[in-house]
Amino acid sequence: SAVLPVAQRGEIILTLKAVPVAASEFNSPWLEQLAQAMQATMLARNGVGIAAPQVYVSKRVIIVASRPNPRYPDAPDMAAVVMVNPEILQFSKETCLGEEGCLSVPDERGTVARAQRIIVRYFTLHGESVEATYEGFPARIVQHEVDHLDGVLFVERL
Ligand SMILES: O=C(CSC(=O)[C@H](Cc1ccccc1)CC(F)(F)F)c1ccccc1
Ligand SMILES: [Zn+2]
């Protein structure tokens, strides 16, 4: 499906607080197509995550898709997870430092401290509520993407 243009640092859309997906939008063709376009865009740009505001849709939808990579060779190879209205319920006290990049800040990488473990509650595209625990690199991606939903870029956390 369509690879969408990705908003770049300095564009207003990336500074907004995205709005929650409404109950009426679950199971809608719109939401499915948005998720598919986000996934295609993420894959085309070789990303391990993406947030809807990065493709100019200020709604609370993210995709998390950890895979082993030069920076995180032991990262889990996980199936892409679409999270609607994600909420991080708990951050572990323990934090860890790790390298991050961003499709909206193409020429920059930096070391960011993130909670080592998180509990996140989100809805699937079908409106089912899920609570899941993530740690390490996948937890880092979730925190990075939820930041996008709140208008925060990783470079503000360096
Ligand atoms: O694949 C990337 C490109 S940047 C990326 O995939 C962002 C996700 C991300 C990468 C690294 C740490 C946390 C989040 C995607 C974004 F910008 F849409 F959120 C990568 C960068 C650094 C380490 C490992 C992988
Ligand atoms: Zn990013």
pTM of the model: 0.97
Rounded-to-integer distance, Cα 88 and Cα 132, Å: 10
Q: Give the mean model confidence (pLDDT) for residues 4-9.
A: 98
Q: What integer pLDDT is reported at residue 115 of this predicted model?
A: 98
- Report the pocket of ligand 1 as residue ranges, CB < 6 Å: 46-50, 54, 69, 71-72, 99-104, 140-141, 144-145
ipTM of the complex: 0.95
Residue from 94, 99, 135, 145 carrying the catalytic annotation? 145
Q: What integer pLDDT is reported at residue 93 of this predicted model?
A: 98
Q: Whose CA is nearest to atom 17 of ligand 1?
A: 102
pLDDT bin (cut points 50, 70, 90) of residue 111 is very high
Q: Give the mean model confidence (pLDDT) for residues 43-60.
A: 97
Q: Whose CA is nearest to atom 13 of ligand 1?
A: 141
DSSP string, 87-153: EEEEE-S-EEEEEE--TTSTT--EEEEEESEEEEEEE-TT--EEEEEEEHHHHHHHHHHHHHHTT--
How far, in Å, is the centroid of ligand 2 from the Cα of 144? Answer: 6
Which residues have CB atoms below 5 A from the ion given as ligand 2?
102
